[in-house]
Structure 1
């Protein structure tokens, strides 16, 4: 089977991409509006970019009417956000915050998620998250316009919060204790409890 993406509707192309690009980590992004209303929403087009400088990215698509989602609108206006990691125990709460709500609705309240004051930015963070990365906006790249139009948000990480309970003896997070989940296609998710290791090739001398 071969597919020419120019022949596909945006919704169909989204299905193809999300069912092939798997598993995807989930950025549970918390922001605050200029009026002080907190927002919390999950995005699975998300990943780290590099450590020098410490940078990450996620991609909020436009709403069905072509307008930007509250997360993107808040980030553009305030210049900051927090990426909270989603562990299995938070799956139901995360899923609740995926609904499209009015800008005046606080997803923390609606999904009964406890918020906590951040250290480096004004956006709140998820109190029960095993880890959270506070970020300032580096740039927004508009990749598409209209319904489903993609926007690439690049953030510089200012500080990291990690629950001591997920830190291993070597001083770094232990994947077995962190227990993050990943997004598959459709309504599917994946646990990260089944892992294996592969040694990297030795460097050439």
Structure 2
């Protein structure tokens, strides 16, 4: 049962709200952050965090993030870059560099390189051209696999869902748990990933707990 005094729920029709954004980002939490590195066709670097993001499969390994359009309808630099080059890198943000990563959220011009503006360090990738972020403990080099435009009731494109296939993983040895041969994992305490909550609020991934999966009853029981 709900731990509240009553069962009263407040209904909201999306069509009646001035904006669904504050409700969605404060209620659908925590959200992982895809810290995306891309290059323009002219080779200008771009870094930007996206919290409409997740993994969607492991065979093949694929990640997805959604890039909303800028005010006025223009594409964000990240999507414009990926659309042109078909490549990008997703890094995971950890507590030790969250301030520098957050600096890339600024409203910068396409000619501005967020690596330079944030002070973060480029590391060459193995299979794609966009660089990785040295300060991150986990990187996924990606090739564009699919994209899907989201349109509103007026037929205007408001966001693009971007799916990338991971062609190379990189994990810092300090956070890697390789006890299971062929099945590396991450040490969460050392990894210290951050997530997004509502507004400008970030969240820490502190502690977790295990719940065993229930056994399926045998037929006839």
TM-score past 0.5 threshold: yes
TM-score bracket relative to the smaller structure:
over 0.9
TM-score normalised per structure 2: 0.88
1:154-193 counterparts in 2 under 5 A? 154-168=163-177, 170=179, 171-193=184-206
Q: 1:168-190: CA deviations, max 9, x gaps?
A: 25242111221101100011111
Residues 127 and 148 of structure 1: is their aligned pair in 2 closer, same or farther, counting only changes over 3 Å? Answer: farther
Larger helix proportion of the pair: 1
Give the TM-score, by structure 1 length: 0.94
Contiguous gaps of at least 5 residues in structure 1: none
Q: Is the 8 A contact 1:88 1:179 kept in 2?
A: yes
Alignment partners' CA distance in 1, 2:64 and 2:106: 21
Runs of 4+ in 1 over 6 A off after TM superposition: 145-148
Does residue 3 of structure 1 match 2:12? yes
* Counterpart in the other structure of 1:107: 114
**Secondary structure at the residue paired with 1:197?**
coil
1:196: how far off? Answer: 1.7
Question: Are 1:95 and 2:102 counterparts?
Answer: yes
1:153 partner SS: strand
The structure whose Rg is larger is 2
What is the aligned-residue RMSD (CA, Å)? 1.6
Rounded to whole Å, the distance in 2 between the matches of 1:204 and 1:132 is: 41
1:140 counterpart residue number: 147
Aligned to 1:151: 160
Gaps of 5+ in 2: 1-9
Correspondences of 1:12-51 after superposition (within 5 Å): 12-51=19-58
- 8 Å CA contact 2:128, 2:141 repeated in 1: yes
